[in-house]
Structure 1
Amino acid sequence: MQGNPPVRSAVLLWLLLAVALVPRAFAAQPGSTEIFIAINAMQVSIPAATHGTIHLEGPWSFHEGDDARWSDPSFDDTSWDKVMLGTPFNEQGIDTYTGYAWYRIRIQLQPNSKAAETQLALLVTPYSVGQLEVFVNGVETGQTRGMASHMEYLTGPFINTLPKPQPDGTILIAIRSWVSGSVVHGLVNQVTIGGPDHIQESYLLAKARHWDQNIAAKIIAGFLFFCVALVAATLYIAQRHHSEYLWLCILCLSITVRGSLEAAFALAWVPLRVYDLLQPWTVWFFFASTLEFVLRFTGNATRRFVRIIQIGALLLPLASDFQLYRVSGYLGYLIEIVFCALVVLMLFRAWRKGRSETGVMLVPFILAAVVDSIDTLLGVAASWKWIPESYATPNFHLGPIQYSVSTVTDLVFLGSLISVIFYRFIRVSQDEQRSSAEIEAARSVQALLIPTQLPSNRNFLLESAYLPVSGVGGDFFQVLPLKDDSMLIVVGDVSGKGLQAAMSASTLVGALRNELSNDPATILAHLNQVMLGNVLEPSGKSGTNAVAGFATCLCARIYPDGRMVIANAGHLSPYRDGRELELSPCLPLGVIPNVEYEQATLQLKHGDRLIFLSDGVVEATDPKGELFGFERTQQVSHESPRYIAQTAQRFGQNDDITVVGLYFVPA
């Protein structure tokens, strides 16, 4: 009997609609042979499982709790909730849960299909931290390694070999899950069925995707920070007085440790409880070390408030250890805000004071702080259900590698650190070049201030010792033989230290060598005018080039018969055979103009020893703060100049030491 054409057309149309409306969960990869699987009482033509894979997205039957009977194929789960894998539970009307939960799905192979005769495999991909155990037709086929011990790891995909289906071709897949924390998305993310070869390929792709999404970015960022830490350590070894390099190394190592911990957790090398214990310490130690680096880098003086924030950051993980999670969260937000504001303030103040390298770090840090703050606000908004959870943790991709906002902020911060290192390296190199030029100039000046050879004379034996506290100082002395076989000795000390003091001293030495008079009082009066800049120039006009600061000076002229004429301008009196000579005090050079310096006349005896010295001997200070003092100076004043200088130096030198000795032995 020939059928009615409109009826045949309607039947054909409904069959096409049935195929088109099958859930996308059962879309399969291309294959060469077709088999038939019935899911939810609906027959679907799909590629052979031996040549393709099928994603079983659902609907799955879901129920919280734990019961061994739920793995039995005969158990009735029609009253359970229905869920789709890969979709957050809160979007499917299911609240968060903790502990055990079961997933069940039933598929049926056509008895005459090749799938009923072929070995099948199952690939299960978890969503986050937890444990899974898979049952097929009531038989356990696989579980994650921490299921028995309830040790949580970030579990990756794993393969289950399926037993032969029941005689009617039915396969009941039951998945038992356990998690200690609240689950929002559902622990099972994807289930794929297919032939062993194709499942193995899918497994390798899933492992590679897991590596790209959870591990690669962390390892790359950690390696970059480790390289910067090595550079900083090298700079600190070369320049020990720059402690900011040490703290730069420490903060980079803290980020490296944090990234290594996250990568180890993603690789399931570290359980969740260990990760939760260590991760907060790495984060807050990074905050504390960054504050210390910025504090030393900017030279900021507000150390007390910084120390309070550092102590608070380092103690904050203890709140989580005592399960004070809400308190820990609020305090964490507060410390993070104060941390960002404090770092920006210290960098900005240093930049305003002329430290241009802090400006190089200021803008990148502000950018990183803003991005990190936005990420934190999104997390808070998602926890309060103001926005969907998917918006709270936005991820980005660079090729196959997935990275998060925290990775972006870390790399921006790393860029600022690299910029600072190179900027500081260039500036230090320029400073070293200038220092080298200054050292060469100082050596030239030093040759003028300190005679390397003392003049010989048949009536006097002379020796000296000079120990500068740095490369060059403000002490000077001159021993000038005169035509009548007398000896002119000048010892002085210019205020200040370093090259500036040495340049001032060289000006006085130059004026001394051009002085026509050999009278001590007249010489001091002339040097006083030089210090004040009131010396007449060749044109007859008064000069205006005053020498910075002031200077003490002692001038003595000793004749062959032992007569000594001496004048003092605020300098230490010399010692004669262990006793200090009493001289009239007078103002140092460069204080007021037109000073008349008094001079005294003394008579030396055969064998007398005179010791002229600078205040670096008397003012030597030991670690306890005790001065070498006049009493100790007098006790050693009968010794040689070298012995006196070395004794004061060992006691605790903090200024230039100059000692000149004269031994009177007339022919």
Structure 2
Amino acid sequence: MHALARPSLKQLSVLFLSFLCLSTLAQSPAPKLAEPKPGDPVSDGIDHITLGQSVFPLNGPYKFSIGDSPLDPATRQPLWAEPGFDDSHWENVDLTPPEGSFDPVYGLSDFVPGWTAKGHPGYSGYAWYRIRVKVEGLAGRKLALAGSSNVDDGFQIFANGNLLGSFGDFSTSHPIVYNSQPTLFPMPPSADSTQVLAFRLWMEPSTLNYNADAGGFHTAPLLGQAGAVSASYQVRWLEQIRSYALDIVQASLFFLLAVLAISLSIFDRSDKVYYWIAAVYAITAAGLGVQAVGSLGQSISTFTYNLLMDVLFIPLILAVWVMVWWVWFQLKRPTRLPKAVVLLTLLYMAGNLLGEEIVFGLVPHPVAVKFHLLSAAVRLAFLALLVLIVVLGVRKHGREGWVALPAVLMLGVSRFQHELDVLHIKRSWFPFGIQVNLGIVAQLLLVFALFVLLLRRMFVSLRLQREQALDIKQAAEVQQVILPESRTVYPSLLIETEYRAARQVGGDFFQIIPHPADGSDKTGSTLIVAGDVTGKGLQAGMTVALLIGAIRSTAELNSDPLIVLEALNRRLIGRESSQATCLALSIAADGSCTLANAGHLPPYLNGKPLDMEGALPLGMIDGAEFSVMHFNLADDDKLVMVSDGILEATNEKGELFGFDRVAELLRNNGAVKALADAAQLFGQEDDISLVAVTRTVGV
């Protein structure tokens, strides 16, 4: 027979509200019933009520012994469970709790220290409690037994030698146990009012590391009428839920914070601190979730719980917090700190796994003690690292480091909760019955510190964004100033231009520079340079400004197109990610043209692209050779230079604007504005620029 099923969440919610109401009513003085005086007649028209104790705590005294019972050779049942077993030589143990006592770790009421505080320090394994009870005046009424709601770690109950039930799985040589939870067992009917209850307990060796007063029962079992015991069982479950309510709230909070941190990383992928923050919040949420599930159900055994919490989550959380502050303060030294964190994390995991004897019998106990000391040393090293990082952060950033210091110190101290328990230093508080310990305080302080720092970073980022927006706006204004007018008439030439930047600042450029030969515009030449810088935005705009300055300074000395391209190539060599395609065209007064190309699209002459050799873009290699061709512009000939932003315009179906549409519009004598409008409406992806030159002799 096993413990009865735990109440559902809906039932627990109703019970919780009922419990609050009953607690409020209990604070009001109850009316006293008049006790009958001797000699009063019974048939006086008054119902005479005698109240008895429907629930009785089995405080003892118990007979207690460490070790395990031998088995009866015939029945294969434990001899120590038999009602006739002589336990007179066993120790006496009383489970009567001091008034107002509670568990210093979990806050559960009526706490009694375990066997390690009663003459058996350092002992783990099996132990037995035996008690004789006599129940009178309850003929025909069903009885029930509520097991201890705070026990290390699992137990079996025998009534007059018969197994009544268990908390944990005792079918294997090493019992599988769970975190303490309320249990309820119906008592079988018995002709004899006197019963011997025997409790066989098992405590994991690792439990010694979590409670200075570990071992056996910490609250007394309850015996009584089934309905009353069941009600007490429900109240104990409500107390258990209330104790771990903050874990559920925290797990939800940290999960949302992890999602928020990931969301922030999307907006600023260059800042890796958001990934570290998301990682530490996600691991913390997982740890708190495991803690809540392990304490409110039997889906996670104590072994699995300790393995996940102490060997995985706690070391990882501490390590990732170190990296959060390391990345936050943008520290570069000591350079080997990340590797040191990895090493300390592995040592911390090994120290907890072996030092806490989570895997029973894996190492001898004396060796486990040494690994426990190793774990403590690693925790001190982590604390030293955290303090070092914050000190370096204070030196580098000032106030940011001081904001983080209290939370970091609290986090480090919270890693020594067991040592504080051994010294009986209070590290848990229970406002309104909800557990608040150093670990919770440390986590909340860290969240608060990061919130303050993120808020400060957001304001700094907004200020920088405003400054950058102003810089971009000014750069766009400057770019418009240095570009020629959209329509310019020179002797024998009509030049039209269109420019549509994909962003505020574009990477396309063109310049028109007339060169009189002898002081008369009629016999001079005109230099037209058009190009496209790789990339978009402010960086491309800065490269454009560099190239325009180089074009004008070179053209003052020599306006030969090839010389101009070679000069521009030298300016871009050695500048990372600074390449550009470019056309340089010189048109003499008689219409003869010299065209040099550096990887740019060939221009269209009267709607047809010129047959021109390709060449490398500017900035690729030093001393690059560029293609050069000569041709003549006749009267009314129209030469159009286009950037690849027109050809690469893409519609919603993924179709490119392409060469055919450009050629068709140009053959129909389309104006450059119409061509630019068509490409932009089709789906602009890149900067769009056009330069159209029409020879107009006699105008």
The aligned counterpart of 1:77 is 87
Deviation of 1:407 after TM superposition, in Å, equals: 1.0
The aligned counterpart of 1:275 is 305
Of the candidates 386, 393, 408, which is equivalent to residue 369 of structure 1? 408
The aligned counterpart of 2:557 is 567
| 1:368-395 C-alpha deviation (Å, 9 max, x unpaired) | 3333444445633666xxx3xx43x632
Q: Per the alignment, in what secondary structure is the counterpart of residue 188 of structure 2? A: coil
Deviation of 1:587 after TM superposition, in Å, equals: 12
Task: Give yes or no for the alignment of 1:114 onto 2:137.
Answer: yes
Q: Provide the C-alpha distance between the structure 1 equivalents of 2:199 and 2:33, rounded to a whole number of angstroms.
A: 30
Distance verdict in 2 for CA 1:641–1:80, change over 3 Å: farther
| 1:91-115 C-alpha deviation (Å, 9 max, x unpaired) | 3222332322110011234xxx414
Q: Provide the C-alpha distance between the structure 1 equivalents of 2:537 and 2:387, rounded to a whole number of angstroms.
A: 35
The aligned counterpart of 1:593 is none
Q: Provide the C-alpha distance between the structure 2 equivalents of 1:327 and 1:642, rounded to a whole number of angstroms.
A: 77
The aligned counterpart of 2:476 is 443
Deviation of 1:330 after TM superposition, in Å, equals: 4.4
Distance verdict in 2 for CA 1:245–1:382, change over 3 Å: closer
Pairs within 5 Å for 1:513-532: none
TM-score, normalised relative to structure 2: 0.63
Deviation of 1:260 after TM superposition, in Å, equals: 0.9
Q: Could you tell me which amino acid in structure 2 is paired with residue 554 of structure 1?
A: R
Preserved CA contact (<8 Å) 1:309 1:335: no
Preserved CA contact (<8 Å) 2:428 2:436: yes
The aligned counterpart of 1:307 is 338
The aligned counterpart of 1:247 is 276
Q: Provide the C-alpha distance between the structure 1 equivalents of 2:329 and 2:427, rounded to a whole number of angstroms.
A: 34
Q: Per the alignment, in what secondary structure is the counterpart of residue 410 of structure 1? A: helix
Distance verdict in 2 for CA 1:313–1:306, change over 3 Å: same
The aligned counterpart of 1:147 is 170
Deviation of 1:200 after TM superposition, in Å, equals: 1.1
Of the candidates 449, 467, 484, which is equivalent to residue 416 of structure 1? 449
Q: Per the alignment, in what secondary structure is the counterpart of residue 204 of structure 2? A: strand
Preserved CA contact (<8 Å) 1:133 1:144: yes
The aligned counterpart of 2:328 is 297
Distance verdict in 2 for CA 1:123–1:33, change over 3 Å: farther
Q: Could you tell me which amino acid in structure 2 is paired with residue 152 of structure 1?
A: V
Of the candidates 60, 64, 77, which is equivalent to residue 61 of structure 1? 64
Preserved CA contact (<8 Å) 1:129 1:152: no
Preserved CA contact (<8 Å) 1:490 1:554: no
Task: Give yes or no for the alignment of 1:186 onto 2:215.
Answer: yes
Of the candidates 478, 484, 500, which is equivalent to residue 521 of structure 2? 484
Q: Provide the C-alpha distance between the structure 2 equivalents of 1:470 and 1:350, rounded to a whole number of angstroms.
A: 38
Deviation of 1:290 after TM superposition, in Å, equals: 2.7
Moved more, 132-141 or 414-423: 414-423
Q: Provide the C-alpha distance between the structure 1 equivalents of 2:627 and 2:155, rounded to a whole number of angstroms.
A: 89
Structure 1's unaligned 5+ residue stretches are 1-28, 35-46, 510-550, 557-564, 589-600, 622-626, 648-655
Number of residue equivalences: 530
Deviation of 1:366 after TM superposition, in Å, equals: 2.3
Deviation of 1:134 after TM superposition, in Å, equals: 0.7
Pairs within 5 Å for 1:91-490: 91-109=117-135, 113-115=136-138, 118-149=141-172, 150-164=175-189, 167=192, 169-181=193-205, 184-189=213-218, 190-213=220-243, 215-267=244-296, 268-279=298-309, 280-302=311-333, 304-316=335-347, 317-318=349-350, 325-326=368-369, 328-354=371-397, 359-360=399-400, 362-377=401-416, 379-380=418-419, 387=423, 390-391=424-425, 394-451=427-484, 453=486, 455-457=488-490, 459-460=492-493, 472=505, 478-479=511-512, 484=521, 486=524
Q: Per the alignment, in what secondary structure is the counterpart of residue 120 of structure 2? A: coil
Distance verdict in 2 for CA 1:228–1:633, change over 3 Å: farther
Distance verdict in 2 for CA 1:332–1:447, change over 3 Å: farther
Deviation of 1:249 after TM superposition, in Å, equals: 1.4
Deviation of 1:51 after TM superposition, in Å, equals: 3.1
| 1:207-228 C-alpha deviation (Å, 9 max, x unpaired) | 1122222x21211111111121
The aligned counterpart of 1:18 is none
Q: Could you tell me which amino acid in structure 1 is paired with residue 340 of structure 2?
A: I
| 1:433-472 C-alpha deviation (Å, 9 max, x unpaired) | 3333333222222211223626244545768899999964
Moved more, 457-466 or 51-60: 457-466
Q: Per the alignment, in what secondary structure is the counterpart of residue 76 of structure 1? A: coil
Deviation of 1:195 after TM superposition, in Å, equals: 1.6
Q: Provide the C-alpha distance between the structure 2 equivalents of 1:620 and 1:105, rounded to a whole number of angstroms.
A: 96
Q: Provide the C-alpha distance between the structure 2 equivalents of 1:508 and 1:582, rounded to a whole number of angstroms.
A: 12
Preserved CA contact (<8 Å) 2:125 2:202: yes
Q: Could you tell me which amino acid in structure 2 is paired with residue 575 of structure 1?
A: P
Deviation of 1:403 after TM superposition, in Å, equals: 2.2
Preserved CA contact (<8 Å) 1:104 1:174: yes
Q: Provide the C-alpha distance between the structure 2 equivalents of 1:205 and 1:581, rounded to a whole number of angstroms.
A: 88
Distance verdict in 2 for CA 1:432–1:120, change over 3 Å: same
Distance verdict in 2 for CA 1:605–1:226, change over 3 Å: same
Q: Per the alignment, in what secondary structure is the counterpart of residue 123 of structure 1? A: strand
Preserved CA contact (<8 Å) 2:115 2:215: yes
Distance verdict in 2 for CA 1:203–1:657, change over 3 Å: closer
Q: Provide the C-alpha distance between the structure 1 equivalents of 2:123 and 2:351, rounded to a whole number of angstroms.
A: 24
Distance verdict in 2 for CA 1:586–1:292, change over 3 Å: closer
Of the candidates 102, 105, 115, which is equivalent to residue 89 of structure 1? 115
Q: Provide the C-alpha distance between the structure 2 equivalents of 1:187 and 1:61, rounded to a whole number of angstroms.
A: 10
| 1:281-323 C-alpha deviation (Å, 9 max, x unpaired) | 2222223333333333322223742321332144332565575
Q: Per the alignment, in what secondary structure is the counterpart of residue 336 of structure 2? A: helix
Preserved CA contact (<8 Å) 2:493 2:694: yes
Preserved CA contact (<8 Å) 1:555 1:567: yes
The aligned counterpart of 1:22 is none
Distance verdict in 2 for CA 1:31–1:260, change over 3 Å: farther
Q: Per the alignment, in what secondary structure is the counterpart of residue 160 of structure 1? A: strand
Q: Could you tell me which amino acid in structure 1 is paired with residue 84 of structure 2?
A: S
| 1:605-664 C-alpha deviation (Å, 9 max, x unpaired) | 8532245989xx98867xxxxx355426558999986569999xxxxxxxx999999989
Q: Provide the C-alpha distance between the structure 1 equivalents of 2:500 and 2:350, rounded to a whole number of angstroms.
A: 55
Sequence identity of aligned pairs in percent? Answer: 20
Deviation of 1:333 after TM superposition, in Å, equals: 3.8
Deviation of 1:133 after TM superposition, in Å, equals: 0.8
Deviation of 1:203 after TM superposition, in Å, equals: 0.6
Preserved CA contact (<8 Å) 2:153 2:216: yes
Distance verdict in 2 for CA 1:255–1:581, change over 3 Å: closer
Deviation of 1:266 after TM superposition, in Å, equals: 1.1
Q: Could you tell me which amino acid in structure 1 is paired with residue 561 of structure 2?
A: Y
Deviation of 1:406 after TM superposition, in Å, equals: 0.7
Preserved CA contact (<8 Å) 1:124 1:159: yes
Q: Provide the C-alpha distance between the structure 1 equivalents of 2:32 and 2:87, rounded to a whole number of angstroms.
A: 33
Deviation of 1:246 after TM superposition, in Å, equals: 2.4
The aligned counterpart of 2:552 is 554
Distance verdict in 2 for CA 1:208–1:88, change over 3 Å: same
Q: Provide the C-alpha distance between the structure 1 equivalents of 2:556 and 2:428, rounded to a whole number of angstroms.
A: 86
TM-score, normalised relative to structure 1: 0.66
Q: Per the alignment, in what secondary structure is the counterpart of residue 419 of structure 2? A: helix
Q: Could you tell me which amino acid in structure 1 is paired with residue 247 of structure 2?
A: K
